[in-house]
A and B are shown apart, each in its own frame.
Chain A
Amino acid sequence: DQQVKQNSPSLSVQEGRISILNCDYTNSMFDYFLWYKKYPAEGPTFLISISSIKDKNEDGRFTVFLNKSAKHLSLHIVPSQPGDSAVYFCAASAKNTDKLIFGTGTRLQVFP
């Protein structure tokens, strides 16, 4: 039972344009959401997070949007840069649990 889903395995975007990565979840108990970025042969690194009490969180070029009614969140990267090329994992956790549930990732490629 995949509680966190990233339905697009890959995304290709031109440098300077906006990248939009999507994530859907099924567990209504999730109240904290995170995005991780992973380069080949490295571990995932934390990028940005959002609590369920918010619908938007921004950090530089990265913005995460949360739509609780649709159980959907998205990561916007603008402008996209070649160095953003990586696999992006969406993750979620429920209150007072020690588990992060990850999606399967979306591979973003930013080309010049």
Chain B
Amino acid sequence: DTAVSQTPKYLVTQMGNDKSIKCEQNLGHDTMYWYKQDSKKFLKIMFSYNNKELIINETVPNRFSPKSPDKAHLNLHINSLELGDSAVYFCASSRRTYANTGELFFGEGSRLTVL
């Protein structure tokens, strides 16, 4: 039974399209995150939510909009996709708000390719 699950795992789309990636965790954690791993393999935080409240919003274009309908779900919607958005997007969750008191549990990643 997958703890943090993301869908879809692979997504190929054209520039200018709008797409969403969904994430669900069944660990009972309060905090969820989106990380982006780009072509240089940097794994960078984009957003974090604690119990549906936005905690971290890094310098991410406003084309990216996270939505947390409840604390078990954190979806990522991307408008007007650009070539540079191609990356692997990882969802994660943790037991506590502060990352340094609890490990992150990651999903398997969603590989987005923008053509």
Chain B residues numbered 61-112 whose CB sits less than 8 Å from any CB in chain A: 90, 92, 97-101, 103-109
Provide the bound-state CA to CA distance between A32 and B103, in Å: 11
Bin the interface of chain B by size: 20 to 34
| A11 CB contacts on chain B under 8 angstroms | none
CB of B41 within 8 A of CB of A105, answer yes
Q: Could you tell me the distance in whole angstroms from the C-beta of A94 to the nearest C-beta in chain B?
A: 8
Contacts A43-B4, A89-B43, A105-B41: A99 and B99 contacting too (C-beta < 8 A)? Answer: yes
Number of A-B residue pairs, CB cutoff 8 Å, is 64
Per the CB 8 Å criterion, the residue count for chain A at the interface is 24
| B106 CB contacts on chain A under 8 angstroms | 36, 43-45
CB of A34 within 8 A of CB of B103, answer yes
| A41 CB contacts on chain B under 8 angstroms | 108-109
Closest chain A residue, CB of each to CB of B97: A98
| B12 CB contacts on chain A under 8 angstroms | none
Provide the bound-state CA to CA distance between A8 and B92, in Å: 26
Q: Helix, strand, loop or mixed for chain A's interface?
A: loop
CB of B40 within 8 A of CB of A97, answer no
| B42 CB contacts on chain A under 8 angstroms | 2, 102, 104
Contacts A43-B92, A44-B90, A98-B31: A31 and B100 contacting too (C-beta < 8 A)? Answer: yes
| A36 CB contacts on chain B under 8 angstroms | 104, 106
CB of A99 within 8 A of CB of B56, answer yes
Provide the bound-state CA to CA distance between A46 and B104, in Å: 7
A49 contacts partner chain B, Cβ-Cβ < 8 Å: yes
A28 contacts partner chain B, Cβ-Cβ < 8 Å: no
Provide the bound-state CA to CA distance between A45 and B106, in Å: 7
Q: What is B's interface to A at a CB cutoff of 8 Å?
A: 4, 31, 35, 40-45, 48, 50, 55-56, 90, 92, 97-101, 103-109
